[in-house]
Structure 1
Amino acid sequence: MSLLRRQETIINMQPLQHQYYVYILTNKKHGTLYIGMTNNLKRRIYEHKNKLVEGFTQKYNLDKVVFMESFLYVQDAILREKRMKKWKRQWKINLIEEDNPEWMDLAIDWYD
């Protein structure tokens, strides 16, 4: 699935559906990476972008979404997040660059 198609699918999800998301945040291309999981992607990214989440993402100013995936079952999302967190850094970079080679913020216009 193309990046644009994946983005459209994620953004246009019906609120009553059970959807879970794994995402990667960064502060710049090839910068610090953070992998997270949520059941409400727009809310969670809003929290990161507005520094409402204390801790690692706030400390390193991680507010650019460079990768996201959706899952129907929470167990699948949790498993994916845990596995990705154990990956070598280069594997994470390869995953991002497969669909987002410029490391664009995929949520840049979500809150206009």
Structure 2
Amino acid sequence: MVSAHAAIASASEAIQDRGLAGWSVAVRRPFVYIMASQRNGTLYTGVTSDLPRRVFEHQSGAMPDFTQRYDCKLLVWCKEYPTMPEAIAREKQLQGGSRHAKLKLIEAQNPGWRDLTQDLA
């Protein structure tokens, strides 16, 4: 399985090669991701087949309700999965799990809670 950082870099290269017109086609890969309001702040767990577009939606305020209300705009964790059913199963597992488990995942991959969005560009 490809690491999240490698997958993001690969998707970014494809985006740059194709320009914005091919953006969504270039990144059709199943990802589970966690957005945060700040370090140790509110967390949002989601799944998508187009990570750059979905993160943009969170950050631009296009996502009503939870993410807009709690200002979850930092991409702090993500992982690519081979298939969408596997990604959905993992998302449900994370959503049903404890906050502590999510914090542990974030700390293992991103101990500085750096916004991984910059890896998408």
TM-score (norm: length of structure 1): 0.87
| Structure 2 residues without counterparts, runs of 5 or longer | 15-24
Counterpart of 1:10, as a letter, is I
Are the equivalent residues in 2 in contact too, given 1:22–1:38 (CA < 8 A)? yes
- Residue 107 of structure 1: SS of its match in structure 2? helix
| Structure 1 residues without counterparts, runs of 5 or longer | none
Aligned to 1:70: 80
Distance across 1 between alignment mates of 2:32 and 2:9: 14
Counterpart of 2:112, as a letter, is E
TM-score (norm: length of structure 2): 0.81
Counterpart of 2:84, as a letter, is V
Relative to 1, partners in 2 of residues 1:55 and 1:92: Cα closer, same or farther, differing over 3 Å? same
* 1:1-40 pair list within 5 angstroms: 6-13=4-11, 15=25, 18-40=28-50
Distance across 2 between alignment mates of 1:17 and 1:59: 28
Aligned to 1:83: 93
Deviation string 1:45-87 (CA, Å, 9 cap, x unpaired) is 0010000111100000100000001112110000000000011
Q: CA deviation at 1:17?
A: 7.1
User: 1:92 and 2:102 equivalent?
Assistant: yes
Distance across 1 between alignment mates of 2:27 and 2:68: 30
More helix by share: 2
User: 1:47 and 2:45 equivalent?
Assistant: no
Counterpart of 1:9, as a letter, is A
- Give me the CA root mean square deviation: 2.1
Identity of aligned residues (%): 34
**Length, aligned pairs only:** 109
User: 1:106 and 2:104 equivalent?
Assistant: no
Q: CA deviation at 1:11?
A: 3.5
Distance across 1 between alignment mates of 2:27 and 2:58: 23
